[in-house]
Amino acid sequence: MNAHQIAQVSSQLPSALPRLDWITDAQRLQRLSQDFSWFSPVLKQALQGKYGDVAVRPRTEGEIASVVAHCARQGLPITVRGSGTGNYGQSTPLHGGVILDLSAYNQLCWVHGAVGRAQTGMRLWDLDRQARAQGQELRWLPSTYRSATLGGLFGGGFGGAGSITYGPLAAPGNVLAARVMTVEAEPRVLELRGPDAMRLHHTYGTTGIVLELEVALAPATPWLECIATFEGFDAALAFAQQLGQAPGIAKKELALMAAPIPAYFTGLAAYLPEGCHAVMALVAPEAEETMHCWLAQHGGTLRYCVRDQWAADKPVGGHKSLIEYCWNHTTLHALKVDKGLTYLQTGYQPARFAEQLHALRSALSDEVLFHLEFLRNRDGLFSCSGVELVRFTSEQRLNAIMDIYRQHGVLVHNPHVYVVEDGKGNNQLDPGLLQAKAMLDPLNLLNPGKLRKAGLPACVQQA
Ligand SMILES: Cc1cc2nc3c(=O)[nH]c(=O)nc-3n(C[C@H](O)[C@H](O)[C@H](O)COP(=O)(O)OP(=O)(O)OC[C@H]3O[C@@H](n4cnc5c(N)ncnc54)[C@H](O)[C@@H]3O)c2cc1C
């Protein structure tokens, strides 16, 4: 089939399955084909004009199965979508076909003790609130938690607030199981547990359609949200390191935004003196006294400190939580002020991050603005990842900057590419991933073009 034929066959689906909620309006289809890839001038150009031909919003497993069966019989590409807050065009169909929008498939299945299970279209904010009613909370929240879905975090995300304690989503013990639907003329539903489920993680919906996820939870905590400011970067880093490594202080979030980044947070201007370096943290309330003591040692000033701001729904600069200034929300706030910026995603070495930062700041401080998110890595080691802002000049220079990072031993998770393999710092695919794909998507119809090793399905190759 060529692109025109794919569009034609796709357009017949609404009449074949008239009870489902279909979207055929061109403007809405364009919106549903996009995510936040516009953060990258490179992706913005590469993904221009890539749209799905039709979108559907199923509400039940039966409705999902009926769409999938039709697509499998006709050989139509399927792109699964949560809320479309991904950064790399992950839910942008490269070859048209059907957008399977799972945002209406959004029920909590259960919370039992410290384990919860939900349909993957459930928003993380709703899941967290429902878990909190039972004394638990989600272990990690991307800064997009208010709109992002559980399935989207699993399929396209990494972690976020909470990774300072529980590591990335990929750390064993965080995600316990996945209920998955195969893409076949007679779709099957399988339960994958532990490592088998994790083969589908961060594969941009290319390996299988995840219906439900079972995740480990954490005790609900009335987090203390804090902003501390410093005159010097080294003092801010030393404070963040001391707080991040302190085993006795429970933490949800810890980030350092070096000057001049705090100036982009216009909603927080009252708490951020000109030229400051800022540390944002969510810590357990009993840590307040220790924080005051350490701030005095490092010459920092506590500018903002509110307990349980989230539960009380008190907006901070128009947001529910300081989390919405961290991770890629920092990039979003900066882009609102300066459209000439773009960003990097990097992983520093646990034992060397201070030294690596020092060298990179010396080499690149004219072009790169340093934003660090502290976390535990998959092995539990304390470290930081960078979501650095870059003054964009050209794609060539952007690549050269990423090379400088690599030369200093820092891993680059390139956010300017849309292929799964290319976004991995080490370019390594779990070999089990392709086996899982062969079992769950034997016709290779899921999000074609995003997993290089899988090649393209017959329908697209003939195009
Ligand atoms: C401002 C901003 C801040 C961000 N902060 C963070 C952060 O802190 N941490 C982080 O990890 N990410 C972050 N992200 C990226 C993104 O918001 C998150 O990963 C989010 O969880 C994605 O959820 P979504 O529902 O929007 O997914 P979508 O963008 O809709 O989908 C993401 C990918 O998952 C696939 N997918 C979705 N549902 C399923 C399913 N049920 N089965 C199989 N595949 C599926 C899609 O095909 C797509 O490839 C940020 C992005 C922005 C723009």
> Are 383 and 445 part of one and the same domain?
no
> Are 200 and 56 part of one and the same domain?
no
Q: Which residues of 399-414 are buried (b: 16+ CB within 10 A; e: fewer)?
A: eebbebbeebebbbbb
Specify the number of domains making up the chain.
3
451 in Cβ contact with 430 (< 8 Å): no
Distances (CA, A) of 359 to 57, 342, 353, 363: 49, 21, 10, 6
**How many Cα atoms sit within 13 Å of 444 on the Cβ side?**
17
CA of 103 to the centre of ligand 1 (A): 12
Provide the CATH number for the domain around residue 448.
3.30.43.10
The DSSP code for 15 is H
Q: Which pLDDT does position 319 carry in this prediction?
A: 77
Higher pLDDT, 307 or 255: 255
Q: Which atom of ligand 1 is nearest to the CA of 157?
A: 19
**Which positions ≥6 away from 396 have C-beta within 8 Å?**
none
- Apex CA 51: angle with CA 451 and CA 203, to 5°? 25
> Are 365 and 257 part of one and the same domain?
yes
> Are 8 and 93 part of one and the same domain?
yes
Q: Residue 112, Cβ neighbours under 10 Å: how many?
A: 12
> Are 25 and 80 part of one and the same domain?
yes
Indicate the pLDDT class of residue 299, thresholds 50, 70 and 90: very high
In a domain, 427, yes or no: no
**Which positions ≥6 away from 15 have C-beta within 8 Å?**
none
Provide the CATH number for the domain around residue 402.
3.40.462
Among 226-235, 271-280, 299-308, the minimum mean pLDDT is found in 299-308
- What average pLDDT does this structure show over 200-224? 97
Among 90-99, 191-200, 310-319, the minimum mean pLDDT is found in 310-319
Residue ID of nearest Cα to ligand 1 atom 39:
151
In a domain, 391, yes or no: yes
Q: Which amino acid is at 155?
A: G
Q: Which atom of ligand 1 is nearest to the CA of 120?
A: 41
In a domain, 424, yes or no: no
Q: Which atom of ligand 1 is nearest to the CA of 90?
A: 49
Q: Which pLDDT does position 311 carry in this prediction?
A: 67
> Are 262 and 404 part of one and the same domain?
yes
* Tokens (6 digits) for 285: 């309330």
Helix (H, G, I), strand (E, B) or coil at 369: strand
Q: Which atom of ligand 1 is nearest to the CA of 327?
A: 8
> Among residues 164, 191, 219, which one ends one of the domains?
219
From 61, 90, 144, 280, the mutation candidate for ligand 1 (largest count of ligand atoms within 8 A of CB) is 144
Specify the pairing of strand 277-283 against strand 224-230: antiparallel
283 in Cβ contact with 247 (< 8 Å): no
Q: Which pLDDT does position 259 carry in this prediction?
A: 97
CA of 143 to the centre of ligand 1 (A): 11
In a domain, 198, yes or no: yes
Q: How many residues does the chain have?
A: 463
- What average pLDDT does this structure show over 385-400? 97
CA of 388 to the centre of ligand 1 (A): 19
| Segments forming the whole domain that contains residue 90 | 3-103+439-461
> Are 283 and 402 part of one and the same domain?
yes
**CA–CA distance, 425 with 259 (Å, rounded to integer):** 27
pTM: 0.97
> Are 293 and 407 part of one and the same domain?
yes
Q: Which atom of ligand 1 is nearest to the CA of 85?
A: 26
In a domain, 351, yes or no: yes
Using a pLDDT cut of 90, give the percent of the chain over it: 92
- What average pLDDT does this structure show over 288-297? 96
In a domain, 344, yes or no: yes
Provide the CATH number for the domain around residue 212.
3.30.465.10
Which sign does the torsion angle of CA 312, 314, 318, 323 carry? negative
**CA–CA distance, 348 with 409 (Å, rounded to integer):** 8
> Among residues 412, 427, 452, which one ends one of the domains?
412
Question: What is the side-by-side order of every strand in the sheet holding 98-101?
Answer: 22-23, 54-56, 98-101, 78-81
Q: Is the pLDDT of residue 310 over 80?
A: no
Helix segments in 167-316, DSSP class H: 195-198, 233-245, 288-298
In a domain, 389, yes or no: yes
How far the first Cα of the chain sits from its last, in Å, is 5
> Are 229 and 207 part of one and the same domain?
no
The DSSP code for 89 is S
> Are 99 and 45 part of one and the same domain?
yes
E-strand ranges in 104-174 read 108-112, 115-119, 136-138
In a domain, 434, yes or no: no
> Are 291 and 404 part of one and the same domain?
yes
> Among residues 184, 219, 254, which one ends one of the domains?
219
Cα 171 → chain centroid = 15
Residue ID of nearest Cα to ligand 1 atom 7:
142
Indicate the pLDDT class of residue 312, thresholds 50, 70 and 90: low
> Are 367 and 229 part of one and the same domain?
yes
pLDDT digits 0-9 by tens, 189-203: 999 999 999 999 999
Residue ID of nearest Cα to ligand 1 atom 21:
153
